[in-house]
Amino acid sequence: MQVFSKKYSILLSLIVVVVANNHLLAQGCSDAGFCTIPLRPAAVSKNNIQTELAYLQGEENTSLATLSLSYSRQLSKQLQWDNKLVLAYVNGNYGSVYNLGDFYSTLRYGVKTASGKMVHLLGGIKLPFNQSNLKIGNVSLPMVYQTSLGTYDLVAGAAFGVGKLDMNVAFQLPVLQQNRNSFIKEQAPLLGDFPTTNLFRRKADVLWRVGYPLKSQTKKWSFNPNLLAIYHLGEDSYENVFGRRENINGSSGLTLNANLQIGYQISQHKSLQISLATPFVVRDTRPDGLTRSFVASVAYQFGW
């Protein structure tokens, strides 16, 4: 690996220090991929398969492991089709749950601007594989134990460069709310800080990622320290025991994450990527259960 300049080394060191701090609290992002869907093409092959294993630490002693399989196909020079399916295993004080999560399907279109720069536009859908009401025995579980948010979402985004910075913006809008979670705090058999999420309704998110991609001189190694901001556009709500809808105070607002992606190009069609992330600004309440204090993942991609 080539040695980077002093400026880059300092920047990388800062990111690593932030990422390594496990005591910071929670992020807010759909595990199934809204935060991890690459808005920019990552491979040169016509067909690509990626498997990714991720470990996530949540609140109240919960931890998650996810296994995802992605398939992408270059339909034309400008157009790429991406699909991602996620399996999730959640473990915590209530026990463990293993189930399918969400499925993403997106189209990405690359256009050249008048100044000759490439902009990649993305549009797609997220489909849930369950209604977010997985139970252990007859016990309703908080959202953090659910492997899907239970919503059908539209996803739109764009990736473009500004100088040496890599910018990604995206929008995730729940259009069909099929969440049937039935967790009611007052009726829960275990004490805990999980809020009531009975018939939970979720608001939209806006994502903004700014990265500073670096490559070694041999192009084998790549580093992308980046900041990921997610703004939750409004307060989520639930149905109380009297059948009335109530907003969840503090569930809207900003989450700010530090993320470091390290890539290694094994060959022209094979690559490895490690990603480490942790939040340092969080919403007051994260009833959707997307409450990670630390995320680490390793992905292997090959194409043909």
Partner 1 sequence: MKIYIWLFCAAIGLTACTKESEALKTALQNNNPPVTAPLPVQPALKRGLLYPTSGIQVMGVVKIIQQPSGLQVQLDSFSVSAGPDLKVYLSQAATPGNHLNLGNLQSNTGTQYYNIPAGTNLSAYSFVLIHCQQYNHLFSYASIQ
Q: Contact residues for partner 1 (CB under 8 A)? A: 49, 51, 67, 69, 85, 87, 92-100, 131, 133-140, 180, 182, 184, 186-187, 189-190, 198-199, 241-243, 302, 304
How distant, in Å, are the alpha carbons of 112, 229, 263 from that of 304? 26, 34, 19
* Residue 112 C-beta: closest distance to partner 1, Å: 32
Q: Are 188 and 195 in contact (CB under 8 A)?
A: no
Please choose, from the candidates 54, 86, 56, the residue with its C-alpha nearest in 3D space to the C-alpha of residue 69: 86
Judged by beta carbon, residue 197 or residue 278, the one nearer partner 1 is 197
Judged by beta carbon, residue 25 or residue 65, the one nearer partner 1 is 65
Q: Are 263 and 299 in contact (CB under 8 A)?
A: no
Judged by beta carbon, residue 112 or residue 180, the one nearer partner 1 is 180
| Paired residues of 195 in beta bridges | none
Judged by beta carbon, residue 1 or residue 272, the one nearer partner 1 is 272
Judged by beta carbon, residue 49 or residue 227, the one nearer partner 1 is 49
Q: Are 93 and 142 in contact (CB under 8 A)?
A: no
Judged by beta carbon, residue 198 or residue 226, the one nearer partner 1 is 198
Please choose, from the candidates 106, 102, 103, the residue with its C-alpha nearest in 3D space to the C-alpha of residue 124: 106
* Residue 158 C-beta: closest distance to partner 1, Å: 30
End-to-end Cα, the chain, rounded Å: 26
CB-facing half-sphere around the CA of 73: CA atoms within 13 A: 3
* Residue 99 C-beta: closest distance to partner 1, Å: 5
Q: State the Cα–Cα distance between residues 106 and 82, nearest whole angstrom.
A: 5
* Residue 10 C-beta: closest distance to partner 1, Å: 39
* Residue 169 C-beta: closest distance to partner 1, Å: 31
* Residue 151 C-beta: closest distance to partner 1, Å: 15
165 Cβ contact list (under 8 Å, min separation 6): 210, 211, 212
* Residue 289 C-beta: closest distance to partner 1, Å: 16
Judged by beta carbon, residue 27 or residue 140, the one nearer partner 1 is 140
* Alpha helices for the chain (secondary structure H): 6-19
Please choose, from the candidates 54, 63, 127, the residue with its C-alpha nearest in 3D space to the C-alpha of residue 276: 54
Would you give the DSSP letter of residue 219? S
Judged by beta carbon, residue 115 or residue 267, the one nearer partner 1 is 267
* Residue 197 C-beta: closest distance to partner 1, Å: 13
Amino acid sitting at position 86 = V
| Paired residues of 229 in beta bridges | 208, 256
303 Cβ contact list (under 8 Å, min separation 6): 43, 44, 45, 46, 47, 48, 49, 269, 270
